[in-house]
């Protein structure tokens, strides 16, 4: 049974972490079957090297300028040339860095796109149980952070950490070659202490960032829940209740954020102190050499320029490491999503459904969402090709579960479900669901036009086909009277339409799909009696020649069914057509009388 993603474990350190990181990043850094992106990676790498080589030259040109200023005879020659070279080197380094970013931008964005699409597709492959147990807001935030993490690793970490390390090695080599070993040692010791402090402190404060992530997910999930159920919130005047819930979540987030920021301030203060001490010691050593006549002022300026050039990248390296740790946590969450296995999956040898009429057969089917609470118990029935079977019964009897099993959102606990003799577990789910159309009780509409919502069944359908489906569902005249017609946007979850209008749009959608197997799951529950009666003839026309399963609470919609099953606590307690069940005087007759008494005169008692 799938459940929520477990909290990410502390990322492993050392070579194992590096190997895992490289294994994850490499396919996006060097994508297969995309030579254009590989060329961009090579060119961006060349630009990166060129930028660093030019950057290393800047302090040398500055040294020549300073030293030459002490020799008036050369005032009009060497300083001018050195100044031009200094400016050109700085400009060239900046240009190559921007060129690197421009070349690599498409690689990083394409990687983020591929990751997002891959995870999105995988989420659709996961089973219904998983999505019922997850909050949409949390899920979206986890995916968003994971996509940002892979983009960060490719664009920032790869092309920032590598160049800084290369530049550091070059600077240490230059200092060892041209100056006393104590200068290079001071630079190395400063950087080593800086790195050790950064890593230790970042590891210590990772728990605060992880807690922030958890609370951020909690807040996002609650916010989305409240907005999605806007009408319910307003109907129960629960605005203050929802606001308090969000405020409580935000209060917890506030505490975690304060702890995180306090620890970050401590980290930044320590980093600044280490760099300040290192620069002071190095400048003291170089100044002593100048006083002793063993170095020039230009040497002091060169060393200072090197330190300043390293200082900003080193400061950024601290930020980089912190973000790298966070990215690894986010990637572990993303990997947790990607690693989830569907509860219901196609068998390796699964075949496409071969229709030969569309006969549906349930054979001794039992099912439970939770083993402690059975839903269906030894259910057997057959819907012959082109016939209509209805399932009625009190709430909780298992009616909607039958629909979910037929779509194979879940696999049966025992027994078999067959279509034209083919066990659903041996079929490809896509081919199965393409053969079934459903008008659900809870109509789902996208925040798009009416045309797009009807055409969702067949996006390539023409306007005439869409209008024909709308006429069948008795919604065309209503749409035609709207100012925007079929281009009218229905709003979030169809909130701009009434319940009946939404249900008729759903009917038009399934008519357009033209499936051989039709499911009407409380299909007229949101319609008034007059509209329901007017629509019954159209529904009969739509169902003609199709294998039809009707799930109903309103019994007036099933009087024409070839067979009616009465479910109670997951078992068939009565079966037969409308007249036989009324004559039997059992549960069905009792339900009919209760509904008939509510709407006297609407339908005959027999």
Q: What is the pLDDT of residue 13?
A: 44
Q: What is the pLDDT of residue 606?
A: 35
Whole-angstrom distance, CA of residue 572 vs CA of residue 327:
54
The pLDDT tens digits of the residues spanning 124-146 come to: 766 666 665 565 556 666 677 77
Determine the average pLDDT of the residues in 105-132. Answer: 73
Whole-angstrom distance, CA of residue 269 vs CA of residue 266:
5
More confident call, 46 vs 147 = 46
Q: What is the pLDDT of residue 315?
A: 66
Give me the DSSP letters along 389-434: EEEE-STTSSHHHHHHHHTTSS--SEEEEEETTEEGGGB-HHHHHH
The pLDDT tens digits of the residues spanning 196-231 come to: 887 788 778 777 777 777 777 777 777 777 777 776
Say if residue 501 is exposed, middle or buried (CB neighbours under 10 Å; 0-12, 13-18, 19+). buried
Pairing type for strands 360-367 and 376-383 reads antiparallel
The pLDDT tens digits of the residues spanning 581-600 come to: 888 888 888 888 887 765 44
For residue 67, pLDDT over 80 is answered with: no
Helix (H) or strand (E) holding 464: helix 463-472
Cβ neighbors of 450 (< 8 A, separation 6 or more) are: 479, 482, 485, 486, 487, 488, 490, 505
Give me the DSSP letters along 204-225: HHHHHHHHHHHHHHHHHHHHHH
C-beta of residue 209 within 8 angstroms of C-beta of residue 329: yes
pLDDT band at 416; cut points 50, 70, 90? very high
- Determine the straight-line distance between the first and last CA of the chain, rounded to whole angstroms: 47
Can you tell me which residue has the tokens 């401590």?
266
Give me the DSSP letters along 269-287: HHHHHHHHHHHHHHHHHHH
More confident call, 478 vs 203 = 478
Q: What is the pLDDT of residue 218?
A: 75
Q: What is the pLDDT of residue 152?
A: 74
Kindly report the length of the chain: 606
Q: What is the pLDDT of residue 418?
A: 92
pLDDT band at 5; cut points 50, 70, 90? very low
C-beta of residue 525 within 8 angstroms of C-beta of residue 553: yes
Give me the residues paired with residue 518 across strands: 437, 548
More confident call, 517 vs 218 = 517
Pairing type for strands 563-568 and 517-521 reads unpaired
List domains and CATH numbers for the chain. 15-339 (1.20.1560.10), 353-435+517-523+547-606 (3.40.50.300), 442-514 (3.40.50.300)
Calculate the average pLDDT of the chain: 79
Determine the average pLDDT of the residues in 302-318. Answer: 72
For residue 21, pLDDT over 80 is answered with: no
The pLDDT tens digits of the residues spanning 273-286 come to: 888 888 888 888 88
This model's pTM is above 0.85: no
Determine the average pLDDT of the residues in 358-387. Answer: 88
């Amino acid at each position: 049974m799938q459940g929520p993603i477990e909290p990410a474990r502390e990322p492993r350190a050392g070579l194992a972490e590096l190997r895992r990181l490289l294994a994850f990043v490499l396919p996006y850094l060097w994508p297969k079957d995309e030579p254009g992106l590989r060329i961009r990676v090579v060119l961006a790498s060349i630009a990166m090297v060129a930028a660093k080589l030019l950057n290393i030259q800047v302090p040398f040109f500055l040294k020549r300028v300073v030293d030459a200023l002490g020799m008036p005879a050369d005032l009009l020659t060497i300083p001018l040339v050195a100044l031009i070279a200094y400016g050109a080197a700085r400009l060239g380094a900046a240009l190559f860095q921007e060129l690197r970013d421009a070349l690599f931008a498409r690689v990083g964005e394409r990687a983020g796109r591929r990751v997002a699409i891959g995870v999105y597709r995988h989420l659709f492959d996961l089973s219904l149980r998983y999505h019922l147990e997850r909050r949409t807001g949390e899920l979206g935030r986890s995916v968003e952070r994971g996509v940002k993490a892979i983009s960060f690793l490719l664009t920032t970490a790869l092309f920032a950490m590598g160049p800084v390390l290369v530049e550091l090695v070059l600077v240490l080599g230059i200092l060892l070659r041209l100056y006393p070993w104590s200068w290079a040692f001071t630079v190395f010791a400063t950087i080593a202490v800086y790195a050790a402090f950064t890593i230790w402190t970042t590891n210590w404060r990772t728990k605060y960032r992880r807690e922030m992530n958890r609370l951020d997910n909690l807040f996002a999930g609650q916010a989305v829940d409240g907005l999605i159920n806007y009408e319910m919130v307003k109907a129960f005047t629960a605005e203050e209740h929802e606001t308090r819930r969000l405020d409580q979540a935000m209060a917890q987030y506030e505490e975690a954020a304060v702890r995180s920021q306090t620890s970050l301030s401590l980290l930044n203060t320590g980093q600044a102190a280490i760099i300040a001490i290192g620069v002071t010691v190095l400048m003291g050593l170089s100044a002593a050499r100048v006083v002793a006549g063993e170095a020039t002022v230009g040497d002091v300026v060169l060393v200072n320029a090197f330190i300043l050039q390293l200082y900003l990248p080193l400061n950024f390296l601290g930020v980089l490491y912190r973000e790298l740790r966070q990215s690894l946590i986010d990637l572990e969450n993303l990997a947790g999503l990607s690693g989830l296995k569907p509860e219901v999956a196609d068998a390796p040898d699964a075949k496409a459904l071969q229709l030969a009429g569309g006969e549906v057969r349930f054979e001794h089917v039992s099912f439970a969402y939770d083993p402690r609470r059975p839903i269906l118990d030894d259910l057997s029935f057959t819907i012959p090709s082109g016939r209509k079977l209805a399932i009625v019964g009190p709430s909780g009897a298992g009616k909607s579960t039958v629909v979910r099993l037929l779509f194979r959102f879940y696999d049966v606990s025992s027994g078999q479900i067959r279509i034209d003799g083919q066990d659903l577990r041996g079929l490809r789910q896509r081919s199965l669901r393409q053969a079934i159309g459903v008008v659900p009780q809870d109509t789902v509409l996208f925040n798009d036009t009416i045309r797009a919502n009807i055409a969702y069944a067949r996006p390539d359908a023409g306007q005439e086909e869409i209008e024909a489906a709308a006429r069948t569902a008795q919604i065309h005249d209503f749409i035609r009277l709207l100012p925007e017609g079929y281009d009218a946007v229905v709003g979030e979850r169809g909130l701009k339409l009434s319940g009946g209008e939404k249900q008729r749009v759903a009917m038009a959608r399934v008519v357009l799909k033209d499936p051989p197997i039709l499911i009407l799951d409380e299909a007229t529950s949101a319609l008034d009696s007059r509209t329901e009666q007017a629509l019954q003839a159209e529904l009969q026309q739509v169902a003609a020649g199709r294998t039809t399963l009707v799930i109903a609470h309103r019994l007036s919609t099933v009087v024409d069914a070839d067979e009616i099953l009465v479910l109670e606590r997951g078992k068939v307690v009565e079966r037969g057509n409308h007249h036989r069940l009324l004559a039997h005087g059992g549960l069905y007759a009792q339900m009919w009388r209760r509904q008939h008494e509510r709407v006297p005169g609407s339908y005959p008692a027999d």
